[in-house]
Chain A
Amino acid sequence: MISIGIEKSLKAYAGQRTLKVDRHFPMGSITQIYGPSGCGKTTFLKCIAGLVTPERGSIMVNEQLWFEPLSGINLPPQKRRVGFVFQDYALFPNMTVLQHLEYATNDAAWINRLLLIGKLETLTTHKPEYLSGGQQQRLAILRALAIKPKLLLMDEPFSALDPEMKTALIQELKALFDELEMTVLIVSHSGEELAGLVDGESLNLD
């Protein structure tokens, strides 16, 4: 079980907003997160990953406290080991497709399997600037999966994919999530694109 109860004030052009979430996610669940622009979806994911520190609250994953300011607990992102797919992909311009995955893991067999899932097996020597938007987005997903995370956070992960690619990839991912018993939170505006992937009640941050 993942229990998250946090408060974080958001910087906004029009006054202050506060992100408030109190929610439990069963292990192995796949949940959609949605809400209007600026409501804090990305900040919410970053709080879980340890990239942003909430002002109040606690984060508990599988009986382990990740964040609890009253007892001074705040695990750094390196120790939380969540998979994170960034909205801007955050690919490393100096690394090729293969180097991205090798930076994340030493498991060659796993890398090969990921490359097949993302249909990037013929592009291993390409750097991000020579990849299309869709290919970049797939690489960002593969890199996050490379560390075999127990918890995967995805920020608009399918926005640049054409419908065919999206359907095929989501099917592959669904099988992979089940196999690795991953818990997944996906920020997405469209519930349709995630049909068949998400289970459980989606989370509205508005």
Chain B
Amino acid sequence: MTDLSPIWLTLKLAGITTLLLLVAGLPVAWWLSKGRSVFKTIIEAIITMPLVLPPSVLGFYLLLAFSPQRGVGKWLNEVFGLRFVFSFQGLVLASFIYSIPFMIGPIKSALQQLPASLAQASYTLGKSKRETFLKVLLPNIKPSLLTAMVLTFAHTLGEFGVVLMIGGNIPNVTRVASIAVYDSVERMDYTSANTYSLILFSITFIMVITVFLYNKYQAKSPLE
């Protein structure tokens, strides 16, 4: 019988990463969608880096940055008892950084495509920026919100290089499904590898097709 714990661990990691990125990504996407400046461009470039950087490079830097022997990693370990290397919270942090562009990108472009007059109309009615964002802007980019969340979730499911670098292969702690596939093949356990692969394939396929269907039937508004 194949050990399914890597699947549960993967789903937990993807779920936590998606929620954290949604909360942190919304204000950033909103800020990026408004106006232009050199500073914004630089931030946007940094946010986009995980998209083009080899995952092992990102993993390597994270490993250096959070090594408990020195610098930030040592400080975090001594003051808060937090270890980001070879731990689940380390995976969450790495996934968070690795998937930033997938959450922020779609939300930012959707916000940019909304006519400026929508927010302006809300302001003239006396509504604050926050209320305008929550009640006028967000509800009108629902399909893009869903796309961003699904992309983030699916991208986290598919992580390999970053996880391997900073998390290693510890059962129930950092051995996610993609690592388990590789590990099973190494051990010539093709049955397990096949089970993990099939489950990952099915989950991602269902998610992607759900988004396609949702956006096809929902996005009839001229704004999307």
A-contact bits for B127-155, CB 8 A (1 contact / 0 none): 11000000110011000000000000000
Q: Is B202 an interface residue (CB 8 A)?
A: no
CA distance A50 to B126 in the complex (A): 12
CB proximity of A191 to chain B, nearest CB, Å: 26
Q: Is the CB of A84 within 8 A of B121?
A: yes
Given A93-B221, A129-B221, the answer on whether A83 and B115 have CB atoms closer than 8 Å is no
Highest count of chain B CB atoms <10 Å: which of A84, A90, A104, A147: A90
A-B contact pairs, 17 of them (CB 8 A): A49-B124, A51-B123, A77-B120, A81-B126, A84-B120, A84-B121, A86-B121, A90-B117, A90-B120, A92-B139, A93-B221, A93-B222, A94-B140, A104-B125, A129-B221, A143-B125, A147-B125
Instruction: Find chain A residues with CB under 8 A from B115 CB.
Output: 88, 90
For the complex of A and B, the 4 pairs showing the least CB-CB separation, nearest first, are: A90-B117, A94-B139, A90-B121, A77-B123
Binding site for B on A (CB under 8 A): 46, 49-51, 76-78, 80-84, 86, 88, 90-94, 103-104, 129, 143-144, 146-147
Cβ of A147: which chain B residues have Cβ within 8 Å of it? 125-126
Interface: B223 (CB within 8 A): yes
B180: shortest Cβ distance to chain A, in Å?
A: 42
Query: Which residues of chain A are near B125, meaning CB under 8 Å?
Result: 103-104, 143, 146-147
> Which residues does chain A contribute within 8 Å of B51, judged by CB atoms?
none
Contact B128 A78 (CB under 8 A): yes
In this complex, the interface size class of chain B, counting residues with CB under 8 Å from chain A, is 20 to 34
- Cross-chain contact of A86 among B120, B136, B221 (Cβ < 8 A): B120
Please determine whether A76 and B135 come into contact, CB atoms closer than 8 angstroms: no
Q: Is B187 in contact with chain A by the CB < 8 A criterion?
A: no
Contact A129 B127 (CB under 8 A): no
Bound Cα distance from A91 to B115, whole angstroms: 10
Report chain A residues within 8 Å CB of B128. Answer: 78
Which A residues lie within 8 Å of B223 (CB)? Answer: 93
Residues of B within 8 A of A77 (CB): 120, 123-124
When chains A and B are docked, how far (Å) is the Cα of A144 from the Cα of B124? Answer: 8
Consensus secondary structure, chain B interface: helix
Nearest neighbor of A78 in chain B, beta-carbon distance? B126
User: How close is A144's CB to chain B, nearest CB, in angstroms?
Assistant: 8
Question: Closest residue to B139 on the A side, CB-wise?
Answer: A94
Nearest Cβ on chain A to B129's Cβ, whole angstroms? 9
Whether A90 contacts B123 by the Cβ 8 Å rule is no
* B220 sits at the interface (CB 8 A): yes
Report the bound CA distance from A147 to B139 in whole Å.
Answer: 23
Looking at the assembled complex, report how far the CB atom of A141 sits from the nearest CB atom of chain B, in whole angstroms: 12
Distance in angstroms between the alpha carbons of A76 and B140 in the assembled complex: 24
In the complex, A46→B128 CA distance in Å? Answer: 18
Q: At the interface, yes or no: B118 with Cβ under 8 Å from chain A?
A: yes
Measured between C-beta atoms, what is the minimum distance from A53 to chain B in Å?
Answer: 13
CA distance A37 to B200 in the complex (A): 57
Contact status of A51 and B120, CB under 8 A, knowing A129-B220, A129-B221: yes
Say how far B21's CB is from chain A's closest CB, in angstroms.
23
- Check B139 against A83 for contact (C-beta < 8 Å): no
Interchain nearest-CB distance for B142 vs A (Å): 8
Contact B124 A51 (CB under 8 A): yes
Whether the Cβ atoms of B222 and A129 lie closer than 8 Å is yes
Q: How far is the CA of A103 from the CA of B126 in the complex (A)?
A: 10
Most buried by A among B118, B125, B220, B221: B125
**Docked complex Cα distance between A157 and B139 (Å):** 26
Indicate with 1 or 0, residue by residue over B209-224, a CB within 8 angstroms of chain A CB atoms. Answer: 0000000000011110
